[in-house]
Amino acid sequence: MDKGRMLEKPVAILGGGAIAQTQAADFALEGYKVRLYEMPEFASKSLGDVLKTRKIELGGVQSNLKNFSRSGVADIHVVTTDISKALKGAGLIVIAVPGFGHEMFFERMIPHLEDGQVVSIFPDNFGSLVLRKMMQEKGRKVDVVIGGWHSAPYGTRMLEPGKVNCTIREANQIYEAFPSRDGEVFFEALRDAPYSVGFPISSGPIPLSVLAWPMRIPSCMFPDLSSMWVQWRSHRPRIYSPRRVNGTSTGTE
């Protein structure tokens, strides 16, 4: 898996809400080739004319500690309701839907995953664990890195399909991969993503309950969940924290 070239490939963003459209515009305005996928049954309402125009306007004050903003009308390379078109040849796959929608997207996504892809889930809410479990049940053995975040990277609202108002860019992000041994690989693949540029990483004893809140997966759903949970819990989630010293990044700690 060539992590250094991950973001040179198309970025697939799954979802059609405010977070998905904000991420799609953020990546596209930074020059990335973006593919935006929404489920056919929701697309006409969530994406509207974006299905035809392939344009999303990103605005708002975008408050953050670095006084950084990125605004404009983004041209999305592909807007589709065909998940195979979104995922084929993509490097990074971003799941930008609430936790209750994860399984629906995973179900459609799993048959099309390819070796070398990185899956980033906003927010995680045990999504990383659920995705691995579903892949196991379906016998899908592909070399992918899967990780998640405690929250979306923005505070944003969709004013109308194709127009989003971003009020906040999140300064601190807790993340982890599943299995945890992929954590550094997961971060390196996303280090240069538009919402993380310049944010060094530091680690600390952050309770997993923060990463996985609110808990939505009853243990009875997974007979062997306890062993997977022990493997997950034995490692510490990491934190993005935009700290700078004398005008330069403190780097990885």
Domains and CATH numbers, the chain: 3-249 (3.40.50.720)
- Structure confidence at residue 54 (pLDDT): 98
CA–CA separation, 86 vs 156, rounded Å? 24
HSE (CB half, 13 Å, CA atoms) of 232? Answer: 23
pLDDT at 115: 96
**Torsional class of 60: left (φ above 0), alpha (ψ -120 to 50), beta (otherwise):** left
Q: Is 54 left (phi over 0), alpha (psi -120 to 50) or beta?
A: left
Write down the pLDDT at residue 196: 64
Q: Are 152 and 123 in contact (CB under 8 A)?
A: yes
Per-residue pLDDT of the chain (253 residues; tens, 9 = 90+): 554 567 789 999 999 999 999 999 999 999 999 999 999 999 999 999 999 999 999 999 999 888 889 999 999 999 999 999 999 999 999 999 999 999 999 999 999 999 999 999 999 999 999 999 999 999 999 999 999 998 899 999 999 999 999 999 987 778 889 998 999 899 888 877 887 654 444 333 343 333 333 333 333 333 444 344 334 444 445 544 443 334 443 333 3
H or E element that contains 183 = helix 183-190
The pLDDT score that the predictor gives to residue 78 is 98
Please give the Cα distance from 184 to 192 (Å, whole number). 14
Closest CA to 227 of 189, 191, 178: 178
**Residue 58 DSSP class:** E
- Identify whether the C-beta of residue 243 lies closer than 8 Å to the C-beta of residue 200: yes
d(CA 149, CA 53): 31
Residue with tokens 């070399």: 143
Q: Which residue, 82, 123, 135, 78, is CA-closest to 99?
A: 123
pLDDT for the residue numbered 251: 36
Residues 14, 241: Cα–Cα separation, whole Å: 26
Provide the angle, in degrees to the nearest 10, between the axes of the packed helices 102-109 and 127-138.
Answer: 40
Tell me how far the alpha carbon of residue 76 is from its chain's centroid.
17
What is the C-alpha separation between 41 and 53, in angstroms, rounded?
19
- Res 111: pLDDT: 98
